[in-house]
Structure 1
Amino acid sequence: MAEGRRPHIVLFSGGSACRSINLALCSLPVRLTRVVPAWDSGGSSKVIRESLGVLAVGDIRQALMTMAHGEGRAGDVVKVCNARMTSGAEQDARTEFALYAEGRHPLLERMEPGLRGAILNYLRTFRAAIGPDFDFRNGSIGNFILTGAHLAHNSDINTAIFVFRKLCEVAGHVWPSTAVNDVALSAVLNDGTRIEGQHRLTALGDADSATGVREIALSAGDGAAVPANEAVIESLESADAIVFGPGSFFTSVLPHFLVDGIVPAIVRNVHARRVFLGNILQCRETRGMDVARMVEVAASVWQAQGGADVRPFTHVLANRQILPFEKTAGSFAYLGTEALEATGARLGAEVVIGEFEDPWQRGHHDGRVLADALSALLP
């Protein structure tokens, strides 16, 4: 089948939660686009973002590396982009970075000159911008390269991603849902407590987790609405299936609805399936919720963001739960599905309940089974 005629799946997600389905979809005859958050405020992305005032690239880089893995790309460029600095002494990390930035690492030495030159240019651009006191420990070389490309191409993240994909020979697309640099995520809990920052919401303490999230908001630094990335809008226009999840509901999935222009673009595509993929387990963000409640919250935000009378989801996929008690895996309970059929009927969504858990990893999706279920829904 010609590339242009392959079904196009757009996957709104976070990072690690959708790794298995991303890998499985790469082996199917589909075109895949990942849309990732642009409000990551933790880890090494936070340090780079705060130091340079650029868009957080960690989720972008991670998704691109997952694409590379799924597509069987394991060349030297991918190995460099997937490398991480030592977490030991600060000076050791600086020495290790220099090995890359000065072209003395064996992986770089054996590359053809064009590839090697491009990577060195981006690493040196990053080093010049970050200054002499930056702590490289546990940093991702891929993050440094992608940030350097971002800076080198006039802070155009889409161009930087395009170049990064070409360097790694990745066919799939990855875009942040907005190209604005200074987007922040916040939440209000059910008791009125306000939580600022994505990293704080994903790490709620036990008391706040039990209280639960009432609402979330996205804001740009100037207080204006957060505009959608034009590359995402274009992807939505050509999509055959638009998929939400799996991933952290309040930080990686639902916030995409709050990006100005995303919901209207989905509404305009009357052809595409709109699929909500339920997680397997509750998490700190969703303790006490079930899949039906998550769908209801998403539907409410959908309507507020321009969904009008269009149903938010054509299908909801959820893992089967058959026990009459709350089963747990580690610290978290499995997400219940008892009320899902009624919620689906009210919202006009077909509910598909199946055996979607990985038999080898409790609480994780079986990517192949989930990918096959999605493929069966394609128009």
Structure 2
Amino acid sequence: MTIMRVQRELRLPDDLRVARSHAAPHHGPRILFFSGGSALNGISRQLKQYTFNSMHLITPFDSGGSSQTLRLAFDMPAVGDLRSRLMALADETVLGQPDVYALFSHRLPKDASCKKLGAEVSRIISGKHPLVSAIAKPMRTLILTLLGDFAAQVPADFDYRNASIGNLILAGGYLGHGRELEPVLFLMSKMVDVRGTVRAIVDANLHLGVDLADGRRIVSQRLISGKESPPIDSPITRCFLSDGTQEILPADVPLPKRNRKLIEQSDAICYPPGSLYSSVIANLLPAGVGTAIAARHVPKAYLPSLGQDPEALGLDLADQVAAILAPLRADAGPDASPTDFMTHILCDTSVPKEECARVARLHEIPCLRLPLRQKNEPKYDPVKIARILVSLD
């Protein structure tokens, strides 16, 4: 199927809209993503060439890596995916920005001694580290204030191995702003001139859980994703939120009003590539998400992951669509149809035609097969994807 056919199917204009967005990204479309992880970061970096108005609702339920260390130390939501998306959307042209970006992106070594790591962190917090001293005032003063808030509450035995300095800064801002994420996310967005809006789907310290086809239940994102533990060996049948010990009902985790407004303002909605459950569906679980999406009459596209996703074990494309629709339909009610939540699927030509036909048969959602992947790599071409996304109307 050709790009022109897609344009007709989606009522897309020709390259004029893309050119107009590229010339005036301040007026670019408000594309909303339900996303987590790093799979969308390359596309996000390209997208900011066309719009400064993209909106990213990110899962704060990650329980792996340095985010988990912070969660255990401070009983806080995960901030790693939020920091990663902020950096992907940061304006890389602003004078002095590389210095701030370098600090926020800096990771401490995995294999250094506790003494050496502690000494480096002390230099950073005191402002004597080259990464900090390179930043001009007043930005440096603000960053040191946030790091000071972190240092005031960090446990003496905190594990700094592989710690992201940006995550430590976010944690300091969270602790110094009444244990709320939104103020520090807004502040960091201004610090690096983020070309879009990045928010946690909810400001809650919760975990993702799944039920497997063999009857087992797993709680904790890092045990589900297959990145820090062996991949699951039975298909996922359902996912839910948990406080770590028991399931939390969606009604007890409502979508914040500020995020509902983002959905209401969107020009297009995208379920992007990423781990099916922990990166995408996790954002669809809070109460009110499905209702808000169904009420917004704009293009709603699913861009399924390329390559192997351990979380999608045993699931073909139609099954993945069903998994995305399940929490949305449960929230919006029995009268909602699949196309209230997803109007099109944009997939690479490597997806078999038979799978697309099954999607159309079971869900009545058109599946558009396009040459979207990078040559010789199981990744989307970010230029192609960005141009298609800004054309959705």
Q: Distance in 1 between matches of 2:77 and 2:160?
A: 18
Q: Classify the secondary structure of the residue corresponding to 1:15.
A: coil
Q: Give 1:296 shift.
A: 2.0
Cα distance change, pair 209–54 in 1 and its aligned pair in 2 (3 A):
closer
Q: Distance in 1 between matches of 2:138 and 2:229?
A: 52
Q: Is structure 2 residue 124 aligned with structure 1 residue 124?
A: no
Give CA deviations for 1:81-111 in whole Å, capped at 9, x if unaligned.
1111122111111111111100002232243
Q: What is the total number of aligned residue pairs between the two structures? A: 362
Cα distance change, pair 368–304 in 1 and its aligned pair in 2 (3 A):
same
Q: Classify the secondary structure of the residue corresponding to 1:131.
A: coil
Give CA deviations for 1:51-99 in whole Å, capped at 9, x if unaligned.
1111111110011111126777842111111111122111111111111
- Residue 351 of structure 1: aligned partner: 367
Whether contact under 8 Å (1:257, 1:305) holds in the other structure is no
5 Å-filtered alignment, 1:84-123, equals 84-87=107-110, 88-123=112-147
Whether contact under 8 Å (2:232, 2:311) holds in the other structure is yes
Q: Give 1:17 shift.
A: 1.1
- Residue 165 of structure 2: aligned partner: 141
> Which amino acid in the other structure matches residue 354 of structure 1?
L
Q: Give 1:344 shift.
A: 2.9
Q: Give 1:220 shift.
A: 4.3
- Residue 193 of structure 1: aligned partner: 216
Give CA deviations for 1:267-293 in whole Å, capped at 9, x if unaligned.
2212x2111111112321112322222
Q: Give 1:374 shift.
A: 2.0
**In structure 1, which of residues 357, 367, 376 is the aligned counterpart of residue 382 of structure 2?**
367
| Farther off after superposition, 212-221 or 98-107 | 212-221
Q: Classify the secondary structure of the residue corresponding to 1:187.
A: strand
- Residue 262 of structure 1: aligned partner: 289
- Residue 300 of structure 2: aligned partner: 274
- Residue 285 of structure 1: aligned partner: 311
Tell me the TM-score normalized by structure 2: 0.86
**Structure 1 runs not aligned, ≥5 long:** 322-334
5 Å-filtered alignment, 1:36-185, equals 36-68=58-90, 74-87=97-110, 88-180=112-204, 182-185=205-208
Whether contact under 8 Å (2:223, 2:229) holds in the other structure is no
Whether contact under 8 Å (1:38, 1:55) holds in the other structure is yes
Q: Distance in 1 between matches of 2:161 and 2:228?
A: 27
Give CA deviations for 1:177-225 in whole Å, capped at 9, x if unaligned.
1111x21111111010111101100128999734211111113468452
Tell me the TM-score normalized by structure 1: 0.89
Q: Distance in 1 between matches of 2:75 and 2:226?
A: 24
Whether contact under 8 Å (1:153, 1:160) holds in the other structure is yes
Q: Distance in 1 between matches of 2:178 and 2:227?
A: 37
Q: Classify the secondary structure of the residue corresponding to 1:285.
A: helix
5 Å-filtered alignment, 1:266-345, equals 266-270=293-297, 272-306=298-332, 308-310=335-337, 311=339, 312-321=341-350, 336-344=352-360
Cα distance change, pair 250–94 in 1 and its aligned pair in 2 (3 A):
same
Q: Distance in 1 between matches of 2:375 and 2:124?
A: 40
Whether contact under 8 Å (1:316, 1:344) holds in the other structure is no
Q: Give 1:246 shift.
A: 0.7
Q: Distance in 2 between matches of 1:89 and 1:7?
A: 48
- Residue 332 of structure 1: aligned partner: none
Q: Classify the secondary structure of the residue corresponding to 2:138.
A: helix
Whether contact under 8 Å (1:344, 1:351) holds in the other structure is yes
Q: Give 1:16 shift.
A: 1.5
Cα distance change, pair 64–208 in 1 and its aligned pair in 2 (3 A):
closer
Give CA deviations for 1:312-343 in whole Å, capped at 9, x if unaligned.
2011011112xxxxxxxxxxxxx645232342
Cα distance change, pair 51–302 in 1 and its aligned pair in 2 (3 A):
same
Cα RMSD (Å) of the superposition?
A: 2.3
Identity over aligned residues, as a percent? 28
Give runs of ≥4 in structure 1 deviating > 6 Å.
1-4, 69-73, 204-208
